[in-house]
Structure formats: structure tokens, C-alpha cells
Copies of this chain bind each other. A is one copy, B any other.
Amino acid sequence: MKGISIKDIAKQAGVSPTTVSFVLNGKAKEKRISDQVSKKILKIANKLKYKPNQLARGLRTGKTKTLGLIVEDIANNFFANVAKVVEDEADKHGYKVLFGSTEDNTEKAHGLLEVLKYRQVDGYIITPTKNMEKEIELLKMVRKPVVLMDRYLPNVDSHYVVVDNYQGAYAATTHLIEQGYQKIAIITTTSDQVQMKQRMDGFMAAFKKHGLPYNKNVVKRLPFEMDRVGHTQEITKYLKASKVDAVFFATNYLGIYGIESIRSLGLRIGADVGMVCFDDHDLFRLHSPSITCVSQPIEEIGRQIVNVLMKELNHASSTSQQLVLQPTLEVRQSTMKEVEPVA
């Protein structure tokens, strides 16, 4: 079941494999191959539908034309959407994508990197977990392009594409305040990764700016590993105990659990408890009442990630490309104290 190889073409054209390789790699001019021979080879290659064996090529050149995509959770709406854009864009450049989910677990992330490394992927797109500084540095050492996404590592100088988490959270919180909510809380993860920290900071900044009393009770942190039931129970418990009148959920899945929790308490979203969530979702758009959220420009995130990576793959730059894209606040019904008629 062998495919067409460079030898087959060489044989048919009556030339050496070397010549075929030169021509097929566009080095005909540089290597002074005559036009006649070039054309003949091209024609035959076309006729035979020759496709270079990527393994052989990779073995020789060290380039596999493969990217590694390590996300937190490929089943999550945000990451799945980014993955799609990434795959699409990469494809345009002739790259394929290997993927894996970390579940925000350092061990899993480590395992994924390990595998991708000895699969010799050319570049990495990584949603880093904590304690990944060393591994990222290591990749830099071996000159493998890396683009971090969704978050970055403050102590590592690397390329990254993220959104302005601070501004997003600040705008969301300010919006809640301006809508007249008084006792506002933030529900976030236990993780102290930069994107979460920035969302916290944006939240707090809005608090300060408007002179709201800030204390540790306004923050509820929940571990990523906890399951759905655990999350909703914890959120429900917290909401019942703390008597807040609005909540900022720091990620999309927390927002989803949050909706469940608020409703299980018999409270009306918007009227009784305002809510904003970081990251959009079909669910937020269509929920009644619809959920105000900080929407990330997914298309652009994906495009830029690949963009940066391709630039690096072609000619490594000395300075890190660090893109901070602006999210948009999608104002919906969950932040209206007066209940709007359901559309």
C-alpha cells in the first residue's frame, strides 16, 4: 500500500531523486535545474498526485508541520470555539493540530507536553496551568515557538494572546454598580493564575472606584476539580449565607452553575440577584432572563494565535509578541433590576 515516492517520480522522469527533491521544493532556480527537466518533473508529480511523506521529511528536517494545542478543556465552549478557528487557520498554512485537555491539572499538562515533544510538534499553543514556568522556558531553550493563550505566566517572557481581563471585569463590575446593585460578590476559582487575578483586580478596582466596602466575604473561590453538584451546592450555600444582590462570575462554567444555584434558591435573576459572567455562551444569550456577559473575540483570538505562531515558525523574532485583545460587555437582562418582559 505504498504511496508515490520521490523515487517513482525520479524513475519516470529519468532523473535522480535529488533533482526531483530540488524541483519540488522550489529550489530549481537556485540549484540550476533546467526548465525542461523542472517542468517534466512537475508534470509527473501532478499526474501521480505525489504527496511528500511527512514522516520522512520530518525525520530529515525536524519539521513535522504539526502544532500542539493544549487547552484547559476542549469540551468547554470557549476552548472548543478557539480550537476550531485555530485548526482552520493552521490548515491554511499546511499545519495540522494535535490537541489535549489539561483539566487545569499540572500533571496532565506535563504529560501532554511530554508526548507532544517526542512527537516533534513544530509549535505549541498552550493554556498554561500553574507551575509550568520551567516547561515553557525549556521549550524556549530548544527554540520551539510557543504561544500562550487565555492566560500567561507573569514570570516568563513569552508570546501570548489574551483578552484584557482587568478591563473586562472592571467594566462588568462597574456596570453592576451603575445598575444600582449594592452588595456585589465575585465567584471565581481557587486558582491564582493571572487571568483570574486580573479579573479579581478589575473587580476590586471598580469597588474602590465607587467606594464600595470590600472585604473577603465578597469573594467566593471554588476549585476547578469540583463536579457540577459540588459547585452548585457551594454556590447555593454561599448565596444563601451572604445575602448579596449581584454576582460576578469569573468564568463561563461558573456562570452556568451560578444560574442553577440562583434559581434553586427561588430567586429571580436580575430582579433579586443581578449577574454578569466572564465569557459568553449560547446559554447566556438565550436564557430568560438573558445573561449579561463579558464577551471574548474568539475569532480574532484564534486568528492571532496562529498568526503569531506562523511568524515565529518562519523567522523567530527576538521580542515577544504579547497581544491583549479587548472584550466587549454584552449588556442583557440579568443586570436589570426592573424585570423586562421576556421577549
Contact = CB atoms under 8 A, between A and B. Distances in A.
A241 interface: no
Interface string A280-294: 011100111000000
Interface stretch (A90-98, A213-221, A310-318): A90-98
Nearest to A85: B75
A96 B115 contact: yes
A240 interface: no
A53 B120 contact: yes
A286 B101 CA distance: 25
A264 interface: yes
A238 interface: no
A256 interface: yes
21 contacts: A3-B118, A53-B120, A54-B119, A55-B55, A55-B58, A55-B64, A59-B59, A74-B83, A75-B80, A75-B81, A77-B77, A77-B80, A87-B99, A96-B98, A96-B115, A96-B119, A99-B99, A256-B286, A260-B286, A281-B282, A283-B286
A263 B120 contact: no
Interface of A: 1, 3, 51-56, 58-59, 64, 66, 73-77, 80-81, 83-84, 87-88, 91, 96-101, 114-120, 141-143, 256, 259-260, 263-264, 266, 281-283, 286-288, 342-343
Nearest to A73: B84
A80 to B, nearest CB: 4
A114 B77 CA distance: 28
Nearest to A98: B96
B53 A59 contact: yes
B96 A97 contact: no
Q: Would you list the 7 A-B pairs with minimal beta carbon distance, nearest first?
A: A80-B80, A51-B118, A283-B283, A75-B84, A1-B142, A55-B59, A55-B58
A303 to B, nearest CB: 15
Contacts of A120: 53-55
Nearest to A52: B118
A186 to B, nearest CB: 21
A96 B118 CA distance: 12
